[in-house]
């Protein structure tokens, strides 16, 4: 099986020789070849220049032979293209304008993905040609609630007080913002599928800050709309809600082809809560890649074994790789998964 | 029923007229009477001066008539008394020394609670006299893993990389540190019970950063030792592990009298995972106190209703109150719980 076949079969719940493997934030600062390019460009130049984004996307695939490549980009390109000025200072990304009223929501520019984010389409089309039938290609976007967090707070904050106040005091403003973002995301993700992405992952990094009831009210209906549109465009979808181990069935209800599981729950418990008819992704603690190789192999086998109870299983970490990730740790993980090949 | 009777009955699973109520971080900056005192003392002076700690502890009880008072103090007094110099700069508490090797663990001073933390004993004894049989008195401590996070990292960090590296690369160092902290905590919490605390809450604020397997290995055995010692001393115990909605049964296994539930899971799902023989505490989103009174009353009724499926239910927020909490929000919550009185 090629990596692409393995990845698509797992997402479909068809038989595979072993779980396919890709890693959230697999292109990044832990790779010397990434740091070499990062030395020459700003972060924004990297994702806005299709050739550079393509090269950086391919780096971990070349080095480790992963089953899927994920486009090198940033979730904040969508609100940026809708008119929020984006910067990447030391402490993390930051919008210098915030959106906290109906007027500010209405002032957001509707996204024209083919025009505003043409660089993403170009990079994906190039990647599709490079990867051919060997390796799957993933696009992605931030989920509406996560993008709304950045738009309302301006940056990642400790308690998300500004957006939570909207939620409890002016829900109509939050609903309007989420609808506007959802419209943009649908256009953007459909464009990604049309450009050659086999699947797209929706990252709801802050969705776990919503109570389960609030997730059902604010996040779930938008995620459903997004996954329906992706399916209609012929793409597959993966849904990652960090911090959702207490309400996994709601994540499943959103209807993506696979539910990504973070590392705050065992894979067996996650499958028990989701039901065995679910395709799951995950869920190694990314910091476990600091462990000695034998320990990594043990964790990988344990998670792969647990994943067999699900309809399908895409192996991954339960949160993005950190810049401190040792390359030997990733190598140990790749080797141990290969050893599972039937 | 007095508040104290109501609180102790709920912890025992005996009948109550309505769920008892206290709120994590109920003494704090959202109260003008707290800010008035805070203007005169540093944070450390406040918790180290029994009369001030007593006064601040009583403020929310006087204002709202809560069923339990919780000692005003800080979880970091234990590692501080063991030799780590503690400071409270703008960004949050910080130790200027860290503990990352066996030698550094061995250099920690064993705690002599009666001597090192005598101010806690004095404050609790005063509070016991003030509260009498009307209001329950809670002590507390940080769980060994959470204290270890601060000792290893020096402060709260984004990814807890230093302690996770110990976990995966030098587990013997982490085990030694946790054992040392557990010994100290047992002495400290038993002293709190002897000084008059009806119950103590163990706060594992960062325990949710452990994978469930790691929680079982590193946190669970120490929590068991602590709860056994508290029970032997005649005290009740509550166990709060923030971010544990994916592994609540492990928290229950630690054996406290009640499991505190954060707001990342519905109370009904939490009880379904824990079993109906559990006493639970929680779990209102603290930001919900920003909502209009009618909405707060609705949330309170919903959670209280769900809590009836458990053996006992102590009403609380699912995380500490923030300085922005509106007093009217707390008042609405108190009123709505009183209206439930049978």
The interface predicted TM-score (ipTM) is: 0.95
What proportion of chain B, given as a percentage, has pLDDT over 70? 100
- For residue B295, the chain A residues in CB contact (below 8 A) are 168
Pairing between strand A94-95 and A86-87? antiparallel
pLDDT digits (tens, 9 = 90+) for B13-72: 999 999 999 999 999 999 999 999 999 999 999 999 999 999 999 999 999 999 999 999
pLDDT above 90 (res A326) = yes
Question: What is the CATH code of the structural domain delimited by B3-338?
Answer: 3.20.20.210
Rounded to the nearest 5 percent, the helix, strand and coil shares of chain A are: 55, 10, 35
Distance CA A283, CA A266 (A): 8
What average pLDDT does this structure show over B266-285? 98
pLDDT above 90 (res A341) = no
Confidence (pLDDT) at A158: 84
Cβ–Cβ below 8 Å for B212 and A264? yes
pLDDT above 90 (res A90) = no
pLDDT digits (tens, 9 = 90+) for A109-144: 999 999 999 999 999 999 999 999 999 999 999 999
- Any chain A CB within 8 A of the CB of B68? no
Confidence (pLDDT) at B342: 66
- For residue B290, the chain A residues in CB contact (below 8 A) are 164-165, 168-169
| CA-based nearest residue in chain A for residue B215 | A264
Residue of B319, B313, B321, B269 lying closest to B290 (CA atoms): B321
Per-domain residue ranges of chain A: 3-338
What average pLDDT does this structure show over B293-308? 98
> How far B11 CA sits from the closest chain A CA (Å)?
24
Q: Is B179 a catalytic residue?
A: no
What proportion of chain B, given as a percentage, has pLDDT over 90? 97
Show the CA angle centred on residue A151, arms to residues A147 and A156, nearest 5°.
Answer: 75
pLDDT digits (tens, 9 = 90+) for A259-307: 999 999 999 999 999 999 999 999 999 999 999 999 999 999 999 999 9
> How far B88 CA sits from the closest chain A CA (Å)?
17
Confidence (pLDDT) at B77: 97
pLDDT digits (tens, 9 = 90+) for B160-184: 999 999 999 999 999 999 999 999 9
Nearest-CB residue to A245 (from B245, B285, B322): B245
- Any chain B CB within 8 A of the CB of A42? no
Distance CA B299, CA B305 (A): 10
Confidence (pLDDT) at B174: 98
Cβ–Cβ below 8 Å for B243 and A263? no
pLDDT digits (tens, 9 = 90+) for B209-236: 999 999 999 999 999 999 999 999 999 9
- For residue B213, the chain A residues in CB contact (below 8 A) are 266
Catalytic residue among B29, B63, B128, B301: B29
Q: Are B265 and A246 in contact (CB under 8 A)?
A: yes
Q: Is B38 a catalytic residue?
A: yes
- The rounded mean pLDDT for chain B is 97
**Where does the pLDDT of residue A175 fall: very low under 50, low under 70, confident under 90, or very high at 90 and above?**
very high
What average pLDDT does this structure show over B84-99? 93
Show the CA angle centred on residue A154, arms to residues A151 and A160, nearest 5°.
Answer: 85
pLDDT above 80 (res A342) = no
**Where does the pLDDT of residue B158 fall: very low under 50, low under 70, confident under 90, or very high at 90 and above?**
confident
Phi, psi values for residue A340, rounded to 5°: -85, -10
């Amino acid at each position: 099986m090629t990596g692409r076949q393995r990845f698509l079969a797992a997402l479909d719940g068809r038989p595979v020789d072993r779980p396919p493997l890709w890693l959230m934030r697999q292109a990044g600062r832990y790779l010397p070849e990434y740091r070499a390019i990062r030395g020459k460009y700003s972060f924004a130049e990297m994702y806005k220049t299709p050739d550079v984004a393509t090269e950086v996307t391919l780096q971990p695939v070349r080095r480790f032979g992963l089953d899927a490549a994920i486009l090198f980009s940033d979730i904040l390109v969508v609100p940026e293209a809708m008119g929020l000025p984006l910067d990447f200072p030391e402490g993390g990304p930051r919008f210098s304008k915030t959106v906290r009223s109906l007027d500010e929501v209405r002032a957001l520019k509707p996204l024209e993905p083919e025009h505003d984010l043409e660089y993403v389409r170009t990079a994906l089309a190039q990647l599709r040609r490079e990867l051919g039938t060997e390796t799957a290609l993933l696009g992605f976007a931030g989920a509406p609630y996560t993008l709304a967090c950045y738009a309302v707070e301006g940056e990642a904050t400790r308690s998300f007080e500004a957006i939570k106040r909207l939620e409890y005091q002016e829900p109509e403003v939050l609903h309007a913002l989420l609808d506007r973002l959802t419209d943009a995301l649908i256009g953007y993700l459909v464009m990604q599928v049309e450009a050659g992405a086999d699947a797209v992952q929706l990252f709801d990094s802050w969705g776990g800050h919503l109570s389960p009831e609030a997730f059902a009210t604010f996040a779930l209906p938008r995620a459903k709309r997004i996954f329906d549109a992706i399916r209609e465009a012929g793409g597959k979808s993966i849904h990652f809600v960090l911090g959702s181990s207490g309400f996994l069935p709601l994540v499943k209800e959103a209807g993506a082809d696979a539910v990504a599981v973070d590392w705050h729950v065992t894979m067996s418990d996650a499958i028990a809560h989701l039901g065995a008819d679910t395709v799951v992704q995950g869920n190694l603690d990314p910091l476990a890649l600091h462990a000695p190789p034998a320990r990594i192999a043990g964790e990988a086998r344990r998670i792969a074994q647990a994943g067999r109870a699900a309809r399908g299983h895409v192996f991954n970490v339960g949160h993005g790789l950190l810049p401190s990730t040792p390359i030997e740790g990733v190598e140990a993980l790749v080797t141990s998964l290969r050893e599972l090949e039937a």
